[in-house]
Structure 1
Amino acid sequence: MPQEGEHQGQADRGELPLDGSRNGNDAAVRPLWTRAFSLAIAVNFFISLVFYLLMTSMALYAVERFGASDTAAGLTTGSFVLGALAARIFAGKFLDFVGRRRMLLTGLLLYTVAALFYIPAGTLGVLITIRVLHGAAFGLASTAISASVMGLIPAGRRGEGTGYFGISATLATAVGPFLAVLLVDRTSYDVLYMVTAACAAASLLTALALRLPERTLTAAETAAKWRMRPADFFEPRAAAVASVMLVAGAAYSGVLTFLNSYAQEKDMVAAASAFFLIYAGIVFISRFVVGRLQDIHGDNAVVYPILTSFAIGLGLLAWAPNTSVLALAGAFVGMGFGALMPTAQAIAVTVAPDHRIGIATSTFFLMLDAGIGLGPFLLGLLIPLTGFSGMYAVLTAVVAAAMVLYHFVHGRLAGRNAVA
């Protein structure tokens, strides 16, 4: 049997199979923290940082620069995610044909180039077009890195490893909104977009040093390369839990897109910054605990409390009589949506066969992107009717409905398996 050091070298060179182990006993021996795994976390951090820098500032930019309505501002924000959604449809199918590293580098090159065009965008229509193209590049790169990292994680530590990988996005949720507000307040949107392009370039440079595990395609897969059936783009087993992420993503888009505007309306801008810092801090801590609890006690033991926390956080936002309550909401949303993402992703890739992990990952993020992308547009239609407080009250009920949905698509089955 190869020794631990040999396993680490193999993982760094991308020679280990994508199921996370070489044989039945190997998953317990092979280390989680390899050079490749650490580099993947760094790449994902920069990818996510660009996302949050833009997502939390774009609605206000569209209003201030082009006089956009709430609906148009929501569309400008969400169009990035809609572009990502379109790209993921094909990324999951062709990931192993193109090559995981090749797709990652191609996506990140386009990601960097597209970031350079925000400054010269002179009309709202051009800005939305750039957002769609930038989002498509994001979809390629994030699908490649999220699917490939599963091959770097031992199968028996998938919940834990996915949680650690998600820390990179957690840090981005703290740094991105805070940095965006700081740059816009003290400099200009042009400086913000230059920083965004630099972060995209950093993701590309880091990825050049990363070697990812590649799958050897079967003869049947090669023969079906150009076949375009729904099953070639969509993994039904992953779609069940991903449907929960569709609903949760739409709810969280209300936080991402409109929290700054809500805070300005209530004269609580400082509390909005604190919200994201507290959110990130809670998620960071949860990633060291929730994944292990999921591996040991099962999915239901963590998902139901997580969704409950998310609903409480949105309820606090709807109420928010002062800055303390608004900031406290960040803790509950962090333990809610922030912890839900890696938990649900671990479920999605676990229920799918190993050879369809790429498609399962794509399916998961397709549904999540659809929620986050369509949410701002739909909520932009709702806000004139309910106001921001009313919108968050509606989203509280939406997350409660997501808990019921989870029970029927996965929770009742997971509960039976736990009893068995």
Structure 2
Amino acid sequence: MTQVRSKERLWTRDLVLASMANLFLAFVFYLLMTTMAGYAIERFSASDTIGGLTSSVFVIGATVARLFAGNLADLVGRRRTLTISLVVFLIASLSYLPADALDSLGVLLVVRAIHGVAFATASTAAMTLAQSLIPASRRAEGTGYFTLSITLATAIGPFVALLLVHGPGYRALFTAGCIASALAMITALFLRTPHVPLPAEQRARLRRFHPRDMLHANVVPVASFMFVMAVSYSGVLTFLNSYANERGLETAASVFFLVYAAVLFLSRFVAGPLQDRRGDNLVVYVAIGAFAAGLAVLAAAHTNTVLLLAGGLMGLGFGTLMSALQSIAVARVPMPRIGVAISTHFLMVDLGVGVGPVLLGLLLSHTGYTRMYLLLATVVLLSAALYHLVHGRVDQARRRQTDPVEVAEPAAAQ
């Protein structure tokens, strides 16, 4: 008689609290990221270049912090790192109001940089905490559900931002950011998480903050794949509105990321459990195909419906890859080093999103939007070979080894 294995419990009180804290963090990020360039131009009569810097200096601060955040979380403690960084995150959120009152662009840039550092540190600690709470047998499923907090913020943050900016104004926007930051901090205070002790030798090594300890060698190969994906996705983030305006598709562009988030939300309930049961490759290769298809459809979009179809395919593609590869990264390291695994993963994503607009901007002047998106679709498809080299063949070999055991278990139980 075949024994039925019961699933390990996934949702716990602390995982819910960690997800809520991450939701508030991501909400503030998207709330401000979509409005800072316009705010600097309107409030300080800044140029487009300085307006872009006001937005991107947050990402610059976050990218620098990723080098230290994972190491810090593993060394100091994940809950303590989360709490301290959230306090700094709240102070930075409160600082937008005096920066506005002082009429100082310089102060605003400093606030944005500090805010980025606090965000990267807090989000790395929150994700590390969540991974320590997710059973290994349900890693992909749990990671997918946890990152739904980011998916919701992707949809809600820009919507609320535009609502406030076109309504009560920027001070109301900053106040909303303060409230969400305070809620993130309060939520984190109620977290109870397991302590993962480090051996004395490893703790002494981490205190030196040597470069080789800031990025995990086992994660760098799969993170390099995500760098390519992030560069390709940055072409959508950066140039979608200009492309839509050129083709008269402003209506669809305004809800593009809502469709992206909706499809991603629904796919999470399938992709994560499927990855746990059937392995990484099935989910990742399908997501690569969907992402490439989304870019190709975007290149051919001449109607609002086609543009929204591209948004849905992007959610199924790039959105799924973000959680799937995070799960793969975590599985490649021992439990005490999860923080560095996550910071390595997101460092490469941040670099891709930061470098991508510069590279693609140079390319755009020679290709135009249509050919640029078609070229990116080709790059994404070809990246399947990169994934196979850095992880796909390993997962394939592992599945070959485990499948016979799974088939033989019922016979052994009879």
What TM-score results when the alignment is normalised by the length of structure 2?
0.87
Match of 2:191 among 187, 190, 210: 210
Q: CA deviation at 1:126?
A: 4.6
After superposition, the C-alpha distances for 1:291-342 in whole angstroms (9 at most, x for unaligned) are: 1111111111010110111121122222221211111111000001111111
- The aligned residue for residue 376 of structure 1 is 357
Say if 1:329 and 1:60 are closer, same or farther in 2 by CA, change over 3 A. Answer: farther
Question: Quick check: 1:68 aligned with 2:47?
Answer: yes
Whichever of the two has the greater Rg, that structure is 2
Count of matched residue pairs:
393
Match of 2:334 among 338, 343, 353: 353
Say if 1:96 and 1:189 are closer, same or farther in 2 by CA, change over 3 A. Answer: same
Say if 1:258 and 1:337 are closer, same or farther in 2 by CA, change over 3 A. Answer: same
Question: Quick check: 1:79 aligned with 2:60?
Answer: no
Q: Distance in 2 between matches of 1:368 and 1:105?
A: 24
Shifted more, 216-225 versus 319-328: the winner is 216-225
Match of 1:102 among 77, 80, 89: 80
Q: CA deviation at 1:388?
A: 4.3
Question: Quick check: 1:146 aligned with 2:124?
Answer: no
Say if 1:117 and 1:267 are closer, same or farther in 2 by CA, change over 3 A. Answer: farther
Question: Quick check: 1:194 aligned with 2:175?
Answer: yes
Q: CA deviation at 1:404?
A: 2.6
Answer yes or no: is the 8 Å Cα contact 1:80–1:373 preserved in 2. no
Question: What are the ranges of 5 or more consecutive residues in structure 2 without an aligned counterpart?
Answer: 402-414
- The aligned residue for residue 159 of structure 1 is 140
After superposition, the C-alpha distances for 1:95-116 in whole angstroms (9 at most, x for unaligned) are: 1322211110111111122123
Q: CA deviation at 1:190?
A: 3.3
- The aligned residue for residue 173 of structure 1 is 154
Match of 1:364 among 342, 345, 356: 345
What TM-score results when the alignment is normalised by the length of structure 1?
0.86
- The aligned residue for residue 403 of structure 1 is 384
Q: Distance in 2 between matches of 1:315 and 1:123?
A: 43
Say if 1:376 and 1:353 are closer, same or farther in 2 by CA, change over 3 A. Answer: same
Q: Residue type of the partner of 2:47?
A: A
Q: Distance in 1 between matches of 2:204 and 2:324?
A: 34
Shifted more, 244-253 versus 58-67: the winner is 58-67
Q: CA deviation at 1:263?
A: 3.3
- The aligned residue for residue 53 of structure 1 is 31
Counterparts of 1:6-405 in structure 2, within 5 Å, are 30-65=8-43, 66-69=45-48, 73-119=51-97, 120=99, 122=103, 126-405=107-386
Q: Residue type of the partner of 2:379?
A: V
Q: CA deviation at 1:368?
A: 1.2
Q: Distance in 2 between matches of 1:131 and 1:138?
A: 10
Answer yes or no: is the 8 Å Cα contact 2:197–2:336 preserved in 1. no
Say if 1:49 and 1:387 are closer, same or farther in 2 by CA, change over 3 A. Answer: farther
Say if 1:333 and 1:310 are closer, same or farther in 2 by CA, change over 3 A. Answer: same
Question: What are the ranges of 5 or more consecutive residues in structure 1 without an aligned counterpart?
Answer: 1-26
Q: Distance in 1 between matches of 2:171 and 2:238?
A: 20
After superposition, the C-alpha distances for 1:108-146 in whole angstroms (9 at most, x for unaligned) are: 111122123345354655544332221100111011011
Q: CA deviation at 1:391?
A: 4.1
RMSD (CA atoms): 2.3
Q: Distance in 2 between matches of 1:74 and 1:320?
A: 27
Q: Distance in 1 between matches of 2:22 and 2:31?
A: 14
Q: Residue type of the partner of 1:344?
A: L
Say if 1:202 and 1:384 are closer, same or farther in 2 by CA, change over 3 A. Answer: farther
Identity of aligned residues (%): 50
Q: Residue type of the partner of 1:252?
A: Y
Q: Secondary structure at the match of 1:186?
A: coil
